[in-house]
């Protein structure tokens, strides 16, 4: 990702080729000039961006599994901000857990669709999650 700051707005450009990204960072030294259509020139910051903060839904775990166990495993994939039990719809009178945990994580790397947490095979899903093989977690084929 390349981030630019033009007139206090952020512009994001996603580069899919990591070699090209490294080349751009090397050539710019982290800064570049942007020439507006009116001729004005702004200095632009160029940097890599992370994968962002996501609400990760984790299913298929026993309700008695403590949040610390989930937090420890999820820390492999990024900084865990919070872990909570998801509850049934708000129109119910009492908060009743529905069996899904929500972990708010600033991702450092993508999380496979299934992982083992405390001996349990958990199902994981979040917005922007790439499709991965259920067995080997590769993105080139699916079983």
Is 71 a domain residue? yes
What DSSP character marks residue 70? H
Q: For residue 107, what are the domain limits?
A: 53-125
Contact in structure between 132 and 125 (CB atoms under 8 Å): no
Is 62 a domain residue? yes
CA distance 5 to 9: 6
Q: Is 128 left (phi over 0), alpha (psi -120 to 50) or beta?
A: left
| pLDDT value, residue 69 | 92
86 and 28 in a common domain? no
Mapped onto helix, strand or coil, the DSSP state of residue 94 is coil
Number of structural domains (the chain) is 2
Whether the model pTM is above 0.85: no
120 and 61 in a common domain? yes
Is 142 a domain residue? no
Parts of the chain with a pLDDT under 70: 1-18, 47-50, 139-143
């Amino acid at each position: 990702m390349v981030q630019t700051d033009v007139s206090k707005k952020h512009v994001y450009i996603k580069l899919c080729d990591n070699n090209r990204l490294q080349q751009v960072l090397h050539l710019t030294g982290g800064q570049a000039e942007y020439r507006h259509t009116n001729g004005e020139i702004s200095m632009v910051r160029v940097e890599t961006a992370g994968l962002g903060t996501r609400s990760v839904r984790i299913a298929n775990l026993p309700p008695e599994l403590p949040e610390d166990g989930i937090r420890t495993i999820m820390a492999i994939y990024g900084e865990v901000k919070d872990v909570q039990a998801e509850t049934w719809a708000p129109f119910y009178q009492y908060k009743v857990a529905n069996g899904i945990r929500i972990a708010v994580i600033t991702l450092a790397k993508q999380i496979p669709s299934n992982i083992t947490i405390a001996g349990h095979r958990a199902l994981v899903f979040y917005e922007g999650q790439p499709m991965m093989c259920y067995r080997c977690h590769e993105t080139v084929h699916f079983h």
